[in-house]
Amino acid sequence: MSDPATMHVFDDTEAMEISFGPQHPATHGVLRVMVKLDGEKILDAKPIIGYLHRGTEKLFERETYNGCIPHTDRMDYTAAATNNQGLVLAVEKIMGITIPPRAAYIRMILAELQRLSSHFIWLGTHVLDIGATTPFFYTFAEREVLLDLFEEYCGARLTLNCMRVGGVPYDLPEGWTGRCRAFVDQLPAKIADWERLLTNNRIWKERTVGIGVISAAEAIEWGLTGPPLRGSGVRWDIRKVFPYDRYDEIEFDIPIGTHGDTYDRYLVRMEEMRQSIRIIRQCLDRLPDGPVMAKVPKTIKPPLGEVYASVESPKGELGYYVVADGSDKPYRLHVRPACFINLQAMPEMIRGHLVADMIAVIGTLDIVLGEIDR
Amino acid sequence: MADEVTPQAPETPPPPKPPWEEKPVPAVPRDAATHPLVVELAAAVPGLEMQAVEFAGQVTVVVPLDRLLAVCRVAKETLGYGYLVDLTAVDWKDRAEGRFDVVYWLHRHRDEQRLRVKVRVADGVEVPSVTGVWKVANWMEREVFDMFGIYFADHPNLERILTWEGFNGHPLRKDFPLEGIDTGAAIYPDVYPPGTGPARSGGEGGGA
């Protein structure tokens, strides 16, 4: 700080309110933030959302249960597989369906590949926002190879629609496991390369250390889940707390941070990528034989009742609350979106920072507007 | 050859089928008045009238509207439910005991238990806001207001969140049609001329 005595003081300044977005490339979609600025310092921020609202929850009510699955692809469009997984788990819970072990393992492989691909997008765009262009090309190059695996499995690269109530629609193609293993085997070296560019990079640390700090207690109060919660030092992950599919048979660690800042969340996600690789390897080693679909009635008609099931999506806790009325369509199907809840804490995290830091915080929350607006 | 009888092996019962080849048995609701979570809540909030149901391993308690805030406070401060996972509503259009269910889904980290708290409210009745208990409820309540038109008393900023200011109606109400309604989208007057939508449901949108 300069010496107040020699500092020129503007008595007649007032806070300026500007609209940031919704077309700004650094807002990761159509997020708009009304920011109140004192010079370059953020006094307050108010996210305005809904530009991508498609009434998904209303659309669910006219679809059959399996017909809802393609709609979930389009919520968090960087993580379609985990979106599918949450919905089918909820319906299986209410129907009392146990899925065959091979289906569960295929689901876990797809979900962890999806986590990797989502984290690739996060890393590339987050780093690009802050000013480093190179990692974007590295991560997106890997993502292309990863999406080839999805394409080979289900024909789609982005909107996968790759799970059904009772299992998965297809068995793995011939030779897929080998190609998947080859992909994950070369990945740790790539991740180490990316980390060499960033982890001890002085510019990167200047931009992320101490930015967007949120304490563990505040993080729980604001309902944060996923890496933003774990970055604050809470070792909490749906895969461990309420294991679904066969996560209870797999060994993996939950990385946590200590300071709850942008840098710690970065470290958490980098380690999560390695843990995902570890999970995929174990799944490929143990992949059981057998059917990939349980015996499920042709028309899925859950009894009257309500169930909530959630998965650890790459962004946090993604939950589905299903209210069934005995017909073949959900009476009400509510999504508990991880990004929507995580974004709510953003003003809390950026108050007092500079405008440029807001970009870092938006990046570190890893939001996808498709899921926020639904 | 066809009529040659081969000696039969002694009858052995077939091995039990794995669960994924059996016909699935759907979950059934069970009375949960003696469930530990319910007993604990009843002890912490004296004189609370509630119905408790367990379904698919998840416990739901329906509490009266005037005790909601007290239940939420005690749940957080005494019973440790520090994390409000989800808050939403369900529209049971013609139900006699109140049109809407407002549903709170609580979690506590101490023993990783979850509890669903529900209130039944009639159309137009205000629900006390729980933003004073869990900060996370702010946007969740705004979404419920936007989608269902349920008002939350003492909410700091009860505005529409997913639709826009001036949107006509509340989309997740059962009497809101999937298409054809005049939602107040004046930017497309050639597609939806103002005032030509079908009869609209309640809500503050008012006239076109």
ipTM here? 0.85
Q: Kindly report the CATH number assigned to the domain that includes residue B73.
A: 3.30.460.80
Q: Among the listed ranges A9-18, A79-88, B12-21, B153-162, which one has the minimum average pLDDT value?
A: A9-18
- Token pair 């530990």: residue: B36
Of B22, B162, B176, the CB nearest to A49: B162
Asked if residue A7 is part of any domain, the answer here is no
pLDDT at residue number B175: 84
Please give, rounded to a whole number of angstroms, the shortest distance from the CA of B124 to a CA of chain A. Answer: 21
Which residues 61-80 in chain B show a CB within 8 A of chain A?
none
- Residue A295's domain comprises 16-373
Which residues 106-165 in chain A show a CB within 8 A of chain B?
none
| Sheet of A305-313, strand order | A305-313, A316-324, A332-336
Q: How far apart are CA A158 and CA A175, in angstroms?
A: 22
Mean pLDDT, rounded, for A250-279 = 92
Q: Which residue has the higher pLDDT, A279 or B11?
A: A279
Asked if residue A11 is part of any domain, the answer here is no
* Mode of pairing for the β-strands spanning B58-62 and B113-121: parallel
The pTM (predicted TM-score) of the whole model is 0.84
Q: How far apart are CA A273 and CA A112, in angstroms?
A: 9
**How would residue A6 be classed by pLDDT, with cut points 50, 70 and 90?**
low
Q: pLDDT of A286-304, one tens digit each?
A: 999 889 988 888 888 888 8
Q: pLDDT of A113-147, one tens digit each?
A: 999 999 999 999 999 888 888 888 999 999 999 99
pLDDT of A349 higher than 80: yes
**Can you give chain A as a three-state secondary structure string?**
CCCCCCCCCCCCCCCEEEEECCCCHHHCCCCEEEEEEECCEEEEEEEECCCCCCCHHHHHCCCCCHHHHHHHHCCCCCCHHHHHHHHHHHHHHHHCCCCCHHHHHHHHHHHHHHHHHHHHHHHHHHHHHHCCCHHHHHHHHHHHHHHHHHHHHHCCCCCCCCCECCECCCCCCCCHHHHHHHHHHHHHHHHHHHHHHHCCCHHHHHHHCCCCCCCHHHHHHCCCCCHHHHCCCCCCCHHHHCCCCCHHHCCCCCCCCCCCCHHHHHHHHHHHHHHHHHHHHHHHHHCCCCCCECCCCCCCCCCCEEEEEEEEECCEEEEEEEEECCCCCCCEEEEECHHHHHHHCHHHHHCCCEHHHHHHHHHHHCCCHHHHHC
Asked if residue B79 is part of any domain, the answer here is yes
Asked if residue A3 is part of any domain, the answer here is no
Give contacts of B56 with chain A, Cβ < 8 Å: 93-94, 96, 305, 307
Give contacts of A57 with chain B, Cβ < 8 Å: 147, 172
Q: pLDDT of A160-217, one tens digit each?
A: 999 999 889 999 998 999 999 999 999 999 999 999 988 888 889 988 998 889 999 9
Asked if residue B165 is part of any domain, the answer here is no
Asked if residue A128 is part of any domain, the answer here is yes
Asked if residue B138 is part of any domain, the answer here is no
Residue A30 identity (one-letter amino acid): V
The string of DSSP letters for chain B reads -TTPPPPPPPP-PPPPPPGGGSPP-----EE-TTSHHHHHHHHHSTT---EEEEETTEEEEE--GGGHHHHHHHHHHTS---EEEEEEEEE-TT-TT-SEEEEEEEEETTTTEEEEEEEEE-TT--EE--TTT-TTHHHHHHHHHHHH---EET-TT---SSS-TT--S-TTSTTS-SS----S-TT-TTTS-TT-SPPP-SSTT---
Query: Could A321 and B86 be called an inter-chain contact, meaning their C-beta atoms sit closer than 8 Å?
Result: yes
**For testing the chain B interface, which of A56, A62, A220, A237 should be mutated: the one with the most B CBs within 10 Å?**
A220
Tally of domains in chain A: 1
Asked if residue A367 is part of any domain, the answer here is yes
Query: Could A94 and B26 be called an inter-chain contact, meaning their C-beta atoms sit closer than 8 Å?
Result: yes
Q: How far apart are CA B95 and CA A4, in angstroms?
A: 67
- Token pair 């072990």: residue: A101
Asked if residue B49 is part of any domain, the answer here is yes
Mean pLDDT, rounded, for A309-313 = 92
For chain B, say whether A332 makes contact (Cβ under 8 Å): yes
Q: How far apart are CA A162 and CA A273, in angstroms?
A: 21
Asked if residue A9 is part of any domain, the answer here is no
For chain B, say whether A355 makes contact (Cβ under 8 Å): no
Q: pLDDT of A262-274, one tens digit each?
A: 999 999 999 999 9
pLDDT at residue number B203: 42
- Token pair 């739901």: residue: B60
Mean pLDDT, rounded, for B158-177 = 83
**Are the beta carbons of A88 and A177 closer than 8 angstroms?**
no
CA atoms within 13 A on the CB side of A320: 31
Query: Could B26 and A242 be called an inter-chain contact, meaning their C-beta atoms sit closer than 8 Å?
Result: no
Which residues 91-110 in chain A show a CB within 8 A of chain B?
93-100, 103
For chain B, say whether A321 makes contact (Cβ under 8 Å): yes
pLDDT at residue number A20: 84
Query: Could A308 and B147 be called an inter-chain contact, meaning their C-beta atoms sit closer than 8 Å?
Result: no
Query: Could A49 and B135 be called an inter-chain contact, meaning their C-beta atoms sit closer than 8 Å?
Result: no
pLDDT of B208 higher than 50: no
Query: What is the greatest pairwise CA distance in chain B?
Result: 88
Mean pLDDT over each residue of chain B, to the nearest integer = 80
Give contacts of A298 with chain B, Cβ < 8 Å: none
Residue B114 identity (one-letter amino acid): R
Asked if residue A123 is part of any domain, the answer here is yes
pLDDT at residue number A7: 54
**How would residue B95 be classed by pLDDT, with cut points 50, 70 and 90?**
confident
Q: pLDDT of A25-62, one tens digit each?
A: 666 778 888 888 888 888 889 999 988 888 899 989 98
Q: Which residue from B minimizes the CA distance to A236?
A: B109
Q: Kindly report the CATH number assigned to the domain that includes residue A330.
A: 1.10.645.10
- Residue B63's domain comprises 27-123
Q: pLDDT of B178-190, one tens digit each?
A: 776 666 655 445 5
Q: How far apart are CA A52 and CA A22, in angstroms?
A: 11
Please give, rounded to a whole number of angstroms, the shortest distance from the CA of B8 to a CA of chain A. Answer: 29
Asked if residue B77 is part of any domain, the answer here is yes
**Burial track A125-156 (b if 16+ CB lie within 10 A, e otherwise):** bbbbbbebeebbebbbebbeebbebbeebbee
Mean pLDDT, rounded, for A315-340 = 91
CA atoms within 13 A on the CB side of A70: 6
CA atoms within 13 A on the CB side of B177: 9
Cis peptide before B36 (omega within 30 of 0): no
Q: Which residue has the higher pLDDT, B46 or A236?
A: A236
Asked if residue A294 is part of any domain, the answer here is yes
**Are the beta carbons of A327 and A340 closer than 8 angstroms?**
no
Tally of domains in chain B: 1
**How would residue B26 be classed by pLDDT, with cut points 50, 70 and 90?**
confident
Asked if residue B22 is part of any domain, the answer here is no
Residue A6 identity (one-letter amino acid): T
Asked if residue B72 is part of any domain, the answer here is yes
Give contacts of A291 with chain B, Cβ < 8 Å: 20
